[in-house]
Structure 1
Amino acid sequence: MSDDQEVKIRGPLVPVKGIPLSEHIANHYSNVLAFCPDPSDLLIATYPKAGTTWVQETVDLLLHNGNIEICKRASTPIRMPFLENSKRPGIPSGIDLLKTMDPPRVIKTHLPFQLIPKGFWENKCKVIYVARNAKDNLVSYFHFDQMNVTHPDPGPWEHYVQKFMRGQVAWGSWYDHVKSYWEEREKRNILYLFYEDMKENPQREVERIMRYLDLSLPDDVISRIVELTSFENMKENPMANYSFMPRCIFDQSLCTFMRKGQVGDWMNHFTPEQSAEFDEDYQKKMKHVYIPFRSHF
């Protein structure tokens, strides 16, 4: 039976130290916790659907002087392993893949700060965190959970909004996730980026990443990287658009992995009543910290 023909079963979420994770990740977490990175490794951390792949491709291009052919050497999760992912059809586990690679490695994670293996902090690894405003992040995650058939069924939109607000989705509370990295950013030398800043001025943000990585590339290479990592180009890049994933994991007939990539798309989904309720809840959950999110330009 081929991967595409396998029966698609939506698994449950299982709590790990209070954080709901996909069952296959929760069962594998002890291996993740034991992972010890090299000090030269780079961690890219995000809440799901906050621009992860965008930053991964940007980093890979920066490290290879904007050479797109080198960056098409393999699919994104093979080039930059997904730390907590267990073995799935067509992709080895993140830990197994990292064991085959020599440092420095670029590693992806969606784990909240408290679940990150301590070796990343003890070895003073560089960490890039990307955050996206809550409403757009929710909309993108809702569509992603429709096509990611290993996650629980998202159900109707109005119910999903409530689940997101309560943190009852994979990788837990958006609020706790963005706050935990924000509060540790200076102590841990975390480069904290905003999706909206990247959309507004991608050249500026690519240059910020370049400087953080202690690189120096000419302006024409930076401009090329900005062009190559535009939403339109990445959506057509078979090594980055996750079209390589079998349908038993990502059923892109339901929704494409790269859908719109816009700021403010939430206005096409929230009713005025839902938006008001969400805003009130947001103020309660974020009242003790100010993170300069923008939900539109």
Structure 2
Amino acid sequence: MAPQLATDNDLNQILKETFTTEFRKGYITVNGVCLPERFNKFSQAIEDFEVRDDDVWVCSFPKTGTTWTQEMIWCVANDFDFEGAKVLLPERFPFLEHSVLFDYTTIMPRHPEVKLHRLVSDSVNYVSSRISPRFIKTHLPFHLLPRQLRTGKRKPRIVYVARNPKDTCVSYYHHCRLMEGYRGDFNTFCRLFLGEKLCFTPFWDHILQFWNRREDSNILFLKYEDLKSDLSTVIQKSATFLNKTMSNDQVKALLEHLSFNNMKSNPAVNYEDAVETNKKLKLIDVDGDFIRSGKVNQWQGEMPESIIERFDELTREKLATRNFFF
């Protein structure tokens, strides 16, 4: 059955019933963005975060090709150091606001067998303390990024990756079941996505904030669909952006390294340890892989027609008038 329109109060109740756990106790709206209430604990530290000009940031809405883009950018920037790429991606390319998403502090004493990386307790401080050049991942929209970055006082390189909203929604649904303990069905998840009641929504505004800055010299705007259709060209574009040169053999090796099968089986990037931790902590009771299908147009056959129509309507309304197309 297709979902019915819901009020903000309805969606807030659904969000509470399907997402809140002892790891995430509630949600707030910050400058129009839906975030866990734990954001309040880190908001000032993020605002005052000391940005460096030699930082490399990958910014995105969740499930738009972030991990793939991170691995590509890290390998190009580090001169195709595939040995160094065996280190876990969250250590090489940490997630700035990871600690905003989950509160492990109240339950860890009951689970001494679970060892969590120190970035879990204060990811902002962890990222801040990294030696240069730092590689930083974030899902925050532009207007919630650190002040020095927003104002242009510091100009790190920023790579933004966007993806078709319907595919993003499908992928985000499976991600939330596996990584965030979502307990609802797919249609309900679509209602939350469209109603801007999921972490980091609204989706379309997130894209536009970076699309409108795509001509800035320190911003590279990528599309997931281009990575799928012509990865070698995207690698070359990324290398040019990072002022790196590469041989044909290096490009060939990176294409193999970034292939779907290799990414899916690579423990440095597939977050298999995080999935196992979630199971041990009983945050989830489902099986699955963090890197799931990677397909384009996976929404076909999964979305009811009424939801497809609403997605397409919003995409035309928000993006077409700004010359952005998927």
Fold shared, TM-score > 0.5 on shorter chain: yes
Q: 1:37 corresponds to which letter in structure 2?
A: V
| Equivalent runs, 1:236-275 vs 2, <5 Å | 236-245=265-274, 246-247=277-278, 248=281, 251=284, 253-275=286-308
Runs of 4+ in structure 1 deviating by more than 4 angstroms, as ranges, are 7-10, 249-252
Q: Which residue number in structure 1 is paired with residue 228 of structure 2?
A: 199
Greater Cα shift, 159-168 or 207-216: 159-168
What's the CA shift for 1:8?
A: 6.0
When residues 252 and 126 of structure 1 are mapped into structure 2, their CA distance, relative to the original with a 3 A threshold, is farther
What's the CA shift for 1:188?
A: 5.7
Query: TM-score, normalised to structure 1's length?
Result: 0.89
1:128 to 149, 154, 159: 159
1:54 to 65, 68, 72: 68
Q: Which residue number in structure 2 is paired with residue 77 of structure 1?
A: 90
Q: Deviations over 1:167-210 (max 9, x none)?
A: 11101111100011101121363100000000001111011111
| Equivalent runs, 1:66-215 vs 2, <5 Å | 66-73=80-87, 75-86=88-99, 89-92=116-119, 93-120=122-149, 121-149=152-180, 153=182, 155-187=184-216, 189-215=218-244
CA contact (8 A) 1:15 1:21 kept: yes
Q: Deviations over 1:25-73 (max 9, x none)?
A: 3421211111011111111100000111111111121123223211112
Query: TM-score, normalised to structure 2's length?
Result: 0.81
For these two proteins, the number of residue pairs brought into alignment is 284
When residues 278 and 59 of structure 1 are mapped into structure 2, their CA distance, relative to the original with a 3 A threshold, is closer
Q: Which residue number in structure 1 is paired with residue 261 of structure 2?
A: 232
Greater Cα shift, 283-292 or 247-256: 247-256
Give the Cα separation in 2 of the matches to 1:237 and 1:98: 23
Give the Cα separation in 1 of the matches to 2:289 and 2:164: 21
CA contact (8 A) 1:46 1:131 kept: yes
Q: 2:50 corresponds to which letter in structure 1?
A: C
Give the Cα separation in 2 of the matches to 1:194 and 1:26: 31
CA-based RMSD:
2.1
Give the Cα separation in 1 of the matches to 2:286 and 2:219: 37
Q: Which residue number in structure 2 is paired with residue 280 of structure 1?
A: 313
Give the Cα separation in 2 of the matches to 1:188 and 1:18: 28
2:137 counterpart SS class: strand
Give the Cα separation in 1 of the matches to 2:58 and 2:123: 14
When residues 9 and 284 of structure 1 are mapped into structure 2, their CA distance, relative to the original with a 3 A threshold, is same
Q: Deviations over 1:229-288 (max 9, x none)?
A: 111101111110011212149748433211101101010311233222322233233353
Q: 1:269 corresponds to which letter in structure 2?
A: E
CA contact (8 A) 1:20 1:169 kept: yes
1:122 counterpart SS class: coil
1:34 to 21, 25, 48: 48
Name structure 1 gaps, 5 residues minimum: 1-6
